[in-house]
Amino acid sequence: MNTEKIFKDILIRLSDIYQNEGSQNGSLTAEALSLASNQVFDLKENEDEELSKFFNSFISNDDHMLAQQIKEISNFLPWHHSSMGGRIEGDLKKQFIQSVLLGPSGIIKSNDYEVGIFMQMANIDYSVRRHPAEETFFIISGKGYFNKDHHPEIYGEVGDYIHNPSMINHSNRTEEHHMIWSWRWSGDISLDSYIKNK
């Protein structure tokens, strides 16, 4: 397995996904991912494979090709339980795992864009929050439900885009199935102004 080649293929696939989103910030993120794919990477295998094995156990042949590519090299990606800078706590934090590919804390450093992979377990409510960053999810495995301000709830499944404008109140939930998405942040991507509503 050529880990570096698969990782570059993942970046190119993500670039295509966000180019096809049909927005200016999606196109700019796509360009950043495409440029990043020209770099040389020396990915190190994780010493603790628990989270990568956990991620892999949810991926099937019915999922998006991106999910299947990530599964191939998941033990070379930096997985962790997502806390959003300490704003997700305790048992809820354990229901999310993520890997940042591009961004301030990503494999590829960027202060302008953030792109990563996020997994939410079944039967979990990810409570209302808002942030300055403009955000788009692209679902690659599973399914779930999304809320934005006072709009009707949206059902999302593999291949769907969910867009959250800057500072909009949004939340999402899963029922009997997990959900995995790639996300992109554009604009102010710092966590300083991330607000978790009580």
* Residues 74 and 1 sit within 8 Å (Cβ to Cβ): no
Section 83-91 average pLDDT: 68
Please report, rounded to a whole number, the percentage of residues in the chain having pLDDT higher than 70. Answer: 94
DSSP 18-54: HHTT-SHHHHHHHHHHHHHTTS---PPPPS--HHHHH
Residue pLDDT, tens place only, 115-174: 999 999 999 999 899 999 999 999 999 999 999 998 999 999 999 999 999 999 999 999
* Residues 122 and 174 sit within 8 Å (Cβ to Cβ): yes
Nearest residue to 105 via CA among 113, 94, 95 = 113
Whether residue 85 is predicted with pLDDT greater than 80 in this model: the reply is: no
Residue pLDDT, tens place only, 13-45: 999 999 999 999 999 999 999 999 999 998 999
> For residue 47, what pLDDT band results from cuts at 50, 70 and 90?
confident
